[in-house]
Amino acid sequence: MTSSSSTPLKGSVSIALGDYALVRSQSLALTDHLSDAEATVQSMEDASPAKWHLAHTTWFFETFVLEPNVSDYTLFDDKYCYLFNSYYDAVGERHPRPRRGMLARPTLDEVRDYRAHVDEAMETLLASTLSPELATLIELGLHHEQQHQELLLTDILHLFAQNPLRPAFAPAVPLEMTNKGTGDAGWVSFDGGRLPLGASGDGFRFDCEGPCHEVLVQPFELATRAVTNREWITFMEAGGYRDPQYWLSDGLAIATEREWHAPLYWYQQDDIWWSLTLRGPQPVHLDAPVAHVSFYEADAFATWAGMRLPSEAEWEHAAGDVEIEGNFASSNMLRPRPQDASAGDLAGLYGDVWEWTGSPFTSYPGFKPASGAVGEYNGKFMSGQMVLRGGSCATPGGHMRATYRNFFHPDKRWQFSGLRLARDAA
């Protein structure tokens, strides 16, 4: 396979090898307005510095593509493997994750030089004839880089949220409204049955999305839009955060210990709820989907509402032929917007917020990790995490699929994570 023609990164169009330069430039562009200090600091163990994201995605191509396949490739710096290996045990020792923010050197500019060095070698390689295996690996590297583009955004939001000056990543602009507002959510019914789950056919997918297999799904209904901030405030004002009857035991313990009483980044000022966003402090838009809630909170809300979270099989079946379009990072809104459910079908299934499901992130029957170090990509995380579906306003356009499985621990809140309610059919 050789590099194909460049394809726009939007809608349902997947990335191709010809998009290498575009994906790489999109990562760099995210740091255009960051200082070296802003790109260096780490706000918590879960988050990484922007500089680290730029270097780690570069290390991926250097380590898995260039070093084993380009005989005259010269490492940019042989110490970078230790600094920028994330979690690949097969590759060797690495810098401890909680100390990524201590890397004042290399500087942001030196990391940019590292990227240029690797890009030059990659572009030479991409101009040659590639084996199918190598082409697949490069494609994985591009999708990996897109995942880090989203993490870079969510991590910089978390970093800026620690600063009493409340800095903005991007200028404040009015939130683009849908035409008719949200109104009450309706329901879309599905018959259920023995249904396929997982990716089949051609096209890129992460290993955890397959194999496609059959699952038994009972008839169910899915809400026409995600839960809104207005509905979340009703839950808060009803004492939802403190009433044990709605909570999983682990969730209540964590919510109590960490004093959760509202979504992450929310604060109250003059009786109005505000949120720290990538576009600075903004009044909470009541009709926009709630974001930055953990699985535990989402589950408690669903129980309070007399509903439940969908399973990932239900979500994927409902997604069916729904066009993969929505408020992704390419829209540059950088926050969820109100979803117009007036047409009665599923609005905002893609983009805006990742939707928590009630399904644990486990392997599908017949799952086999890839051979070699990249086999560590997903499989070793299949414990204690829950699946989210659909992508968010920070997910790069063109990165999403109906079968895409994101996963986080149930107490994590710094992603753009929200929920859509489900219920058993009457």
Window 276-315: contact mask with Fe ion (x via CB under 5 A): ----------------------------------------
The nearer residue to Fe ion, 86 or 357, going by C-beta atoms, is 86
Shortest Å distance, C-beta 402 to Fe ion: 23
**Which amino acid is present at 205?**
R
The nearer residue to Fe ion, 97 or 213, going by C-beta atoms, is 97
Segment interacting with Fe ion, rule: CB under 5 A, options 26-34, 81-89, 240-248, 373-381: 81-89
Q: Measured on CA atoms in the order 84, 89, 90, 95, is the torsion positive or negative?
A: positive
The residue whose Cβ lies closest to Fe ion is 86
The nearer residue to Fe ion, 147 or 363, going by C-beta atoms, is 147
Task: Tell me how far apart the alpha carbons of residues 41 and 234 are, in angstroms, rounded to a whole number.
Answer: 36
Q: Does 58 bind Fe ion (CB under 5 A)?
A: no
The nearer residue to Fe ion, 85 or 359, going by C-beta atoms, is 85
Task: Tell me how far apart the alpha carbons of residues 186 and 378 are, in angstroms, rounded to a whole number.
Answer: 35
Rg (CA), the chain: 21
Tell me, by CB under 5 A, how many residues bind Fe ion.
1
Segment interacting with Fe ion, rule: CB under 5 A, options 85-93, 163-171, 219-227, 368-376: 85-93
The nearer residue to Fe ion, 151 or 419, going by C-beta atoms, is 151
The nearer residue to Fe ion, 86 or 294, going by C-beta atoms, is 86
Residue 327 DSSP symbol: B
Q: Does 86 bind Fe ion (CB under 5 A)?
A: yes
Segment interacting with Fe ion, rule: CB under 5 A, options 80-88, 151-159, 169-177, 386-394: 80-88
Q: Which residues contact 308 (CB under 8 A, 6 or more apart)?
A: 302, 358, 421, 422, 423
**Which amino acid is present at 119?**
D
Shortest Å distance, C-beta 229 to Fe ion: 31
Shortest Å distance, C-beta 70 to Fe ion: 21
Shortest Å distance, C-beta 49 to Fe ion: 14
The dihedrals phi and psi of 129, each to the nearest 5 degrees, come to -85, 125
Q: Which residues contact 95 (CB under 8 A, 6 or more apart)?
A: 82, 83, 84, 85, 103
Segment interacting with Fe ion, rule: CB under 5 A, options 4-12, 86-94, 309-317, 331-339: 86-94
Q: What are the E-state strand segments in 110-231?
A: 187-190, 193-197, 213-217, 220-223
Shortest Å distance, C-beta 244 to Fe ion: 38
110-115 contact pairs (CB < 8 A, 24+)? 111/51, 111/54, 111/55, 111/58, 112/28, 112/54, 113/76, 114/55, 114/58, 114/76, 114/77, 114/80, 115/24, 115/28, 115/54, 115/55, 115/58
The nearer residue to Fe ion, 86 or 311, going by C-beta atoms, is 86
The nearer residue to Fe ion, 85 or 327, going by C-beta atoms, is 85
Is beta strand 354-360 parallel, antiparallel or unpaired with respect to 417-418?
A: parallel
Enter the tokens of residue 406. 């994101």
Q: Which residues bind Fe ion (CB under 5 A)?
A: 86
